[in-house]
Chains A and B, each alone.
Chain A
């Protein structure tokens, strides 16, 4: 029996134990318990009385009352408590009131955040854009043609953006945005059913992933022409330092291809017992090696396919997987316990004399604050954290130098649900009202400087970024 068949059978075996009759009995039991019972974290576990700020009112009401206005108010309260729970768990004994959050250092308020001015002081959305360029950049609001792109300036801070219509359908246009918010049209003839999956470090090529699994297609950004197509491949990474080749998975086998589509190297699928290689794969800036995910831990692999380092999983955790490069020689990794709990660690990528003798990672943020997904260092010493959260909860926290936490105050024009699509220094690019999470599907793309509090809308609503690779 295949793994897929085993999975289907196991899921069916568990799911079908839940019947209408059992659901009715559970509802009846809740009704009998009323609101007197404390938060019941899970059947089969001890009943836990939580500190007040952590207590979320569960819906122990009988169904006949679930449309009552009082319940609607309770839902609002429940959703409001969500962010406070994330924050209060760290460093305050779990007893701090929500109002205490504002006493901690935090990014500027929405009042200051609404001040319209771009990172380079370009035109505001309410004013006609200046025709003048700023430091070689096109003024915000202007669109230039591909021939006028100052390629020598294209570096970190530039972005490839593909707008998406309010219907959720990616548009066939691809723009190159400069740091000032001006943009250049690369092409208006992107093939349908693709997404921008990667951008080469020399800025010359982008990889388009076919959504129907038919493969990868390259596009030459200088000419706007579509290039070679690699069949049945799933994009993993461009090589570094320039991007003259790419890594892709073909039938779960990691392969390096040249930009001409020729196969250059096939990597061992098991890494001599370390585990199967899978995404993400992260090339080191010097191009000497790349980090890959395996079944249990990240590994550093040389261009010749030899493992250079097998990074240890810290004590108490059972799996770690790479998130991104924290800097040129440090990996941000997400380590998981069986509970599960997710903590963020920093792993020094320096190869050791023996692949298995690498230095253990150091803890960056403990998973007690929530199911951590990502982190970004800010120039003022704070760290921006992202945790798993419901659509109605703010998934972003600021960890201050003293270890305290506060929720990220969302900039003007950004409402939940939202996600950060790109970070460059202190500049976060938000996708607001992420489709698929909200009944209202409109979205927009907004730049927010987390230290200065300045915001700029890159694309007006309705619009969505399809993918936003950075360097």
Chain B
């Protein structure tokens, strides 16, 4: 029933052709991957509304660039890369805007739609992850949440597999140190 309601909000049929001439069914990709991509974005930006926004923009970018895709199977990878990069960019904008406008962080009452509630033991880990450099956060999220291989992470982030390994190792080392320091 819920699934049917969701489908009613998505117009059927937006497709486009990749460079190879193959048809890419963007609507189907949206239905299938919207949630998983939004969850990656959520883990990177820590905010549901922004995560939804990031994924929305990623699909717009895909539609605009789909004709450049040589392999339609690469569409999901392209979306994943766009989501990670947009999340990083949004974090930067968020930070620079705060600084530029001298806004102090304030706590607004978040609605039940967007409020994130996690247990204290998880929050401790998430807070520690937030202290890592962005690249290390991205690698850890893609590795330990999305369960991507080193090669897939390297492709998503546009870095070498060696850099993936290095960032993962350093990120975990720091995470252990940060969590150990809190004990």
In contact, A3 and B179 (Cβ under 8 angstroms): yes
Q: Does B69 touch A at the CB level, under 8 Å?
A: yes
The 0/1 profile, CB within 8 Å of A marked 1, for residues 103-117 of chain B is: 101111010011011
Bound form: Cα–Cα A336–B161 in Å = 25
A417 / chain B contacts, CB cutoff of 8 Å: 158
Number of A-B contacts (CB under 8 A): 278
B1 to A: closest C-beta gap in Å: 11
Distance to closest chain A CB from B151 (angstroms): 9
Contact partner of A26 (CB less than 8 A), chosen from B113, B129, B181, is B113
List residues of B (114-162) whose CB comes within 8 Å of A's CBs. Answer: 114, 116-119, 121-126, 129-131, 133-134, 140-141, 144-145, 150, 154-162
**Residue picked from B50, B89, B125, B134, most chain A C-beta under 10 Å:** B89
Contacting residues, chain A, for B49 (C-beta < 8 A): 26, 40, 42-43
Cα distance, A249 to B159, chains bound together (Å): 20
Q: Is the CB of A94 within 8 A of B100?
A: yes
**Contact code string A16-59 (vs B, CB < 8 Å = 1, else 0):** 11111111111101100000000011111110101000101011
The residue that A6 contacts in the complex, of B92, B94, B108, B179, with Cβ under 8 A, is B179
A15 touches B126 (CB 8 A): no
Name the distance in Å between A209's Cβ and chain B's nearest Cβ. 5
Contacts of B130 on A, CB cut-off 8 Å?
Answer: 338, 340
Across the interface, which residues of B come within 8 angstroms of A389, CB to CB? 85, 89
A72 touches B60 (CB 8 A): yes
Q: Is A27 within 8 A of B9, CB to CB?
A: yes
In whole Å, how far is A399's beta carbon from the nearest beta carbon of chain B? 16
A43: chain B residues at CB < 8 Å are 47-50, 108, 110, 114
The answer to whether A436 and B125 have CB atoms under 8 Å apart is: no
What's the interface size class on A, roughly?
A: 35 or more
Contact residues, A355-390 vs B (CB, 8 A):
367-371, 387-390
Report how far A213 CA is from B164 CA in the complex, Å. 12
User: Could you say which residues of chain A place their CB within 8 Å of the CB of B47?
Assistant: 42-44
| Docked complex Cα distance between A435 and B70 (Å) | 13
What's the minimum C-beta distance from A438 to chain B, rounded to whole angstroms?
A: 7
Residues in A whose Cβ lies below 8 Å from that of B169: 234, 249, 252, 278
B172 to chain A: which residues have CB within 8 Å?
3-4, 7
Complex Cα distance, B100 from A429, in Å, reads 33
In the complex, A348 Cα to B56 Cα: how many Å? 46
Most buried by B among A45, A340, A439: A439
11 contacts between A and B (CB under 8 A): A11-B145, A27-B52, A48-B103, A66-B63, A75-B64, A234-B166, A275-B177, A279-B170, A338-B130, A390-B85, A435-B155
Question: Which of chain A's residues has its CB closest to B10's CB?
Answer: A63
The reply to whether B129 and A7 form a contact with Cβ atoms under 8 Å apart is yes
| Chain B residue with Cβ nearest A61 | B56
Decide if A9 is an interface residue (CB 8 Å cutoff): yes
CA–CA, A391 to B82, complex, Å? 8
The distance from the CB of A337 to the nearest CB of chain B, in whole angstroms, is 8
| Residues of B contacting A437 in the complex (Cβ-Cβ under 8 angstroms) | 81, 85, 158
| Distance to closest chain B CB from A212 (angstroms) | 9
Within 8 A of A (CB), among B1-32: 2, 5-6, 9-11, 14, 19, 26, 30
Task: Choose from A94, A342, A440 the contact partner of B70 (Cβ within 8 Å).
Answer: A440
Within the assembled complex, what's the spacing in Å between the Cα atoms of A260 and B108?
62
Q: In the bound complex, do residue A276 and residue B81 qualify as a contact, i.e. CB atoms below 8 Å apart?
A: no
Q: Which residues of A contact B150 (CB under 8 A)?
A: 211
A340 and B134 contacting across the interface, CB-CB below 8 Å:
yes
Chain A, Cβ-Cβ closest to B50: A42
Q: Is A354 an interface residue (CB 8 A)?
A: no
Contacts of A211 in B (CB 8 A): 150, 161-162, 165
Q: For window 30-58 of chain B, which residues contact chain A by CB distance below 8 Å?
A: 30, 34-35, 38-40, 42-43, 45, 47-53, 56-57
B96 / chain A contacts, CB cutoff of 8 Å? 85, 89, 368-370
- Give the complex CA separation of A3 and B168 in angstroms: 13
Are the CB atoms of A75 and B145 closer together than 8 Å? no
In the complex, are the beta carbons of B110 and A14 less than 8 A apart? no
Which chain B positions have C-beta within 8 A of A14? 42-43, 116, 118, 122, 126
Query: Nearest Cβ in chain B — how far from A390, in angstroms?
Result: 4
CA distance A58 to B50 in the complex (A): 10
Chain A residues in 8 Å Cβ range of B117: 17
Tell me whether B63 and A295 are in contact (CB under 8 A). no
User: In whole angstroms, how far apart are the Cα atoms of A20 and B8 in the complex?
Assistant: 13
Which 9 residue pairs of A and B lie closest in terms of their CB atoms, listed nearest first? A10-B125, A436-B158, A10-B122, A15-B39, A439-B68, A437-B158, A390-B85, A11-B145, A59-B56
Partner of A434 from the list B19, B30, B158 (CB cut-off 8 Å) is: B158
Bound Cα distance A75, B88 (Å):
17
Q: Which residues of B sit under 8 angstroms from A48, Cβ to Cβ? A: 97, 101, 103
> A161 → chain B, closest Cβ, in Å?
14
Q: Can you add 6 more A-B contacts, CB < 8 Å, to A14-B42, A24-B9, A66-B60?
A: A25-B113, A43-B108, A44-B110, A234-B169, A252-B173, A437-B85
Q: Which residues of B have CB within 8 Å of A10? A: 118, 121-126, 129
